[in-house]
Chains A and B, each alone.
Chain A
């Protein structure tokens, strides 16, 4: 693949415009010079033609005939190239012509007054004038005067040479200037593009250790580079955030996995420390299986969170149908029923007409079951949990009120953080990993909603989910 270069392109366009300019200058210079020389020539030729015309005289008689007195012929305009002329009288016809009139050259007096021709390799400029010789006898007024037609031609060899010289000198000067300006332009362009290179060098310093892009002063001063540096800085900030979040999650996940692995390892190692009875081995294997179950559960929760976050990123791209929130709530209550029964908890679901939403029913059920499970687990036996679905304008509000232990005010802002557990000993008893609420939050936010928690320790907790309703 051929690489394109801004520098090359700019230099090429400068060069091209300079060449066009040079060519235009040469053409215009040549034309102007030619026109000016020709018009000068025209003036002298006019004078010369009249000088020839005044040499035509009337005869002494009253016949009105004319004759040519060639004693006072004007000199040629170009001494090296003789001028030519020919004279006609309207009544008597051909009168005279120059001495060295080229053999075979014929002119029919035509309508035009200026023209060019070439005869025997010599270029000529010709003009035609008419003239009436003045009578120098008073009595001669009796006859009709004759009208003369004079064609005067002058070789344009010298003019052509002058035009060529002028054209060549303009071209030469322009070429010299063109070289100089092209060199200047390319130098300026290279210098102008330098901030881009400095910026690239700065961008190359960005790494996962140092996310800061220090836009060089040279680049900041350039208007065209500002959108680039700004969007780069913003992009880096976003990347840094998600990278840090990812790394934090990996760190936390590793940390969470270490404890069950340590338990499992110690169980197996202590089994092997000395010969044991088959009952002891059996107990050890069973304990190991329990530890493995816990590990497996933790992995499942992590996968669920990863999936929820993946969904959250392309929720818009999914082709979803409109469903009723009430139905998903009923389904979730049904799913949690056995747990609720085992803890003697009653769940009250209050609905008020269908609430349509464009969502995946599985996602919503996962949200409701997580919240219900928390409400049931963190409540004493025999307590009740109230679920209410309300429709308020274009928002649906779903609240989960329990009468459980509540959450300490210091823990409340942290409950949506991954792996956060308010009280580790209690969460161990209830089997939590600190991932349920982060999953709920990710899913709710994927649908453009929000979740809030209020709690009074000892009295209970209320979780409120707000979701945009479909129309």
Chain B
């Protein structure tokens, strides 16, 4: 029994190759049944996302090479792509390596953006496709459940997904850092840039309750307001409304400062010096840098936000190192659990144990038998061994049955009865 993983991802293959090999949910179910023949390959699962196509399989007592060859020809046949088209981009992992890879993928350590949360859902979907197709068995059940557990641990115990790695999420995160919660905050959008729209939507999604939109051209403001469920304001009323806004997103094409220190100072006084957060994503800048020097007012321009994103990515990478340690210890645990799943050693150990007992008894009583001819000697030996086999046979078939149906308790009971190691 062994676990094999064959696949390619964003690091090894360009998108032209990945898209040719990608599977839809439906094609997964269909093709999985052709992959899992019950002889060479006993279980199978396909993870197919925009960044990776991977086939995970459990094989029956064959060497890794045979299984790997089988899977890559499976890919070539079902996707109707010649082997040489993707062969050089493939990676293969067997047993411990494969387990590690699956854990790393589920924990988002192998993702393009480390820590991104989607991959976990994609692994879950791959698993449920395999369950539907009936190609997930004892080993893949265990492996996927363990992978989900690892992903959960990594999320809870490291900060790989803790900080934002896009400009609009960084804005949300900074807003939370200043206001605690965004619920009940008012957002004012000045201008109508795409980035401003995106940021406003993220802020609304995070709980901002009121969105005001203003623009030099009233129609544009009204259009955007409609789109993001906000209220359009007349541009001339900007100074008056500045005080209402907890978060101001500035993104106009103006080449002068739209928000001056005087305006900001008045707004702060009017809002009883409650903190305000200005996001200036326009180039050239629309918020006078001097505004940022006021107490309780925090101004971030595009460069500032990008620097935060860059440092968050570095932080994720540092956290990823800690996540690797978690993965490593979980791989060890899984391998140990897997060994106990493998019945072969238990059967061998049981036979050996009984044979040892028989031989020891023979040795103890041998002198009483007196001189024996070599023929008689062999007959005694055969008698003992056939007795051992007759006794162990029903036990072993019972073990096999328990093993196939996954009755762990039963297996454990038999192991304990004969004092066998797991």
A is bound by B = no
Q: What is the interface of chain A, defined by CB distance below 8 A to chain B?
A: none
Which of B's residues lie within 8 Å of A, judged by CB?
none
